[in-house]
């Protein structure tokens, strides 16, 4: 079936200075966030994969 979709965009000039990470290493805040998130991801993986044992948090990583 062909359905029509109407999309509108608004273009704005941005006068703010935007930060761009130029290194592959993460900043302290990003590392802190990932370390807080790691146990939540481990639990979600355990549930999604139907595992009986908890994952070792070292097995849940982003590197």
Say if CB 19 and CB 37 are below 8 A apart.
no
Question: How does pLDDT run across 3-28, given as a tens digit for each residue?
Answer: 998 999 998 888 778 777 777 788 88
Contacts of 42 (CB under 8 A, 6+ apart): 54, 55, 57, 59, 60
Angstrom distance (rounded) from CA 20 to CA 32: 19
Question: How does pLDDT run across 42-52, given as a tens digit for each residue?
Answer: 999 999 999 99
CA 47 to chain centre: 19
pTM beyond 0.85: the answer is: no
Residue 26 CB coordination number (10 Å): 14
């Amino acid at each position: 079936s062909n359905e029509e979709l109407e999309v509108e965009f608004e273009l704005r000039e941005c006068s703010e200075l935007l930060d761009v990470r130029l290194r592959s290493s993460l900043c302290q805040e990003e590392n802190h966030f990932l370390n807080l998130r790691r146990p939540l991801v481990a639990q979600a993986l355990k549930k999604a994969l139907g595992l009986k044992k908890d994952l070792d948090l070292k097995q849940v990583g982003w590197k």
